[in-house]
Amino acid sequence: MNDAAMSNHPMSDAFDIDLDQALDTAKRAAQAAADIIRDGYEAQQRGADVGVRIKADQSPVTEVDEAAERAIREIILADFPDHAIYGEEQGCSGEGDWLWLVDPLDGTKSFVRGQPMLSTQIALMHRDRLVLGVSSAPILGELAWARRGGGAFLDGKPIRTVACETMAEAAVSTGNLKSLAAGKCWNVLGEVAREANRLRGYGDFFHYHLLARGALDVVIESDVNILDVAALAVIIEEAGGVFTDLDGRALDLDTRSVLAAGPTLHAQLKPRFEGWRA
């Protein structure tokens, strides 16, 4: 997905919408969500009730998650009323070639416990191909974004992954490894940990931001949802990295794992994790 054809600026000419306009919509939607999340986080820190309840999948949701998603949907649909939206809290609405993927508060467990490692993730998919992404971390004050052919940015500055060539030089971060621990590739992760220069567990949006700006070399996860990582995939690929699942497949709505790295290390690690669920 990083060939020269995708680096030309008029990428939006291939579509029936302007991707720069859509990116602006996503950034405005993320900002609206950030305002809601910051207010809710500060209120929760003061001991206010943010309406925590447990969903059917046993994950928590709060009034802040729901309010943030409503704000995002309102902004997106005002600009693109014919587009479909798949949101963490309200599910799917609409149909067509364009699908927005929205996690209004990725890290609700962190939010509930007063931890700042949380974000808003907004991506746009066209006919099963991710074309833009915005990752907003309102408590830490970071905003990353990218669109196909337009490069990747963090807080307005261009970012690139680094060209790390060997595991002996690599800083590796992991997250959500419960299912990997139950599979045959748990030993492979142990080998990676022994070979790596450093092993960390930054998790959530944070290690992807670090990877995209060249402060980290590999991210490995096995228990994710496409809404958690769709935007981050576009950002990392536009920053020069490679982002697949652990079997080396391109992302789709059923993606549940991640192998993200620079091209050299990704090529080295991919065959080692393939078939990890077997």
For residue 99, give the CATH number of its domain.
3.30.540.10
Digit-coded pLDDT (tens) for 140-172? 999 999 999 999 999 999 999 999 999 999 999
- Confidence band for 7, pLDDT divided at 50, 70 and 90: very low
Measured CA angle at 134 (ends 128, 150), to 5 deg: 75
Residue 262 counted as domain residue: yes
What is the reported pLDDT for 51?
85
Both 10 and 83 in one domain: the answer is: yes
Average pLDDT value for residue range 130-147:
97
Q: Could you tell me if 28 and 55 lie in one domain?
A: yes
Q: What percent of the chain has pLDDT over 90?
A: 80
Examine the domain organization and report whether 10 and 116 are in the same domain: yes
Is 155 within the bounds of a domain? Answer: no
Write down the pLDDT at residue 15.
Answer: 83
Residue showing tokens 């060249």: 214
> How high is the pLDDT of residue 278?
59
Q: Residue 256: which CATH number?
A: 3.40.190.80
Average pLDDT over residues 19-25: 97
pLDDT at 177 over 70: yes
Please report whether residue 159 resides in a domain.
Answer: no
pLDDT tens readout for residues 75-90: 999 999 999 999 999 9
Would residue 175 count as lying in a domain?
yes
Q: Are residues 77 and 125 in the same domain?
A: yes
pTM, two decimal places: 0.92
Task: Answer whether 100's CB lies under 8 Å from 85's CB.
Answer: yes
Domain span holding position 207 = 167-273
Q: Which of 96, 118, 150 is the last residue of a domain?
A: 150
> How many independent structural domains does the chain possess?
2
Give the single-character DSSP code of 124: E
Whether residue 138 sits in one domain with residue 9: yes
Q: In this structure, are 134 and 193 located in the same domain?
A: no
The answer to whether 85 touches 97, Cβ cutoff 8 Å, is: no
E strands within the chain?
Answer: 53-54, 60-61, 84-87, 91-93, 98-106, 119-126, 129-137, 142-147, 152-154, 157-158, 171-175, 198-200, 218-221, 242-244, 258-261
Q: What confidence score (pLDDT) does residue 11 get?
A: 44
Predicted confidence (pLDDT) per residue in 34-87, tens digit: 999 999 999 888 888 888 888 888 888 889 999 999 999 999 999 999 999 999
Is residue 254 a part of any domain in this protein? yes
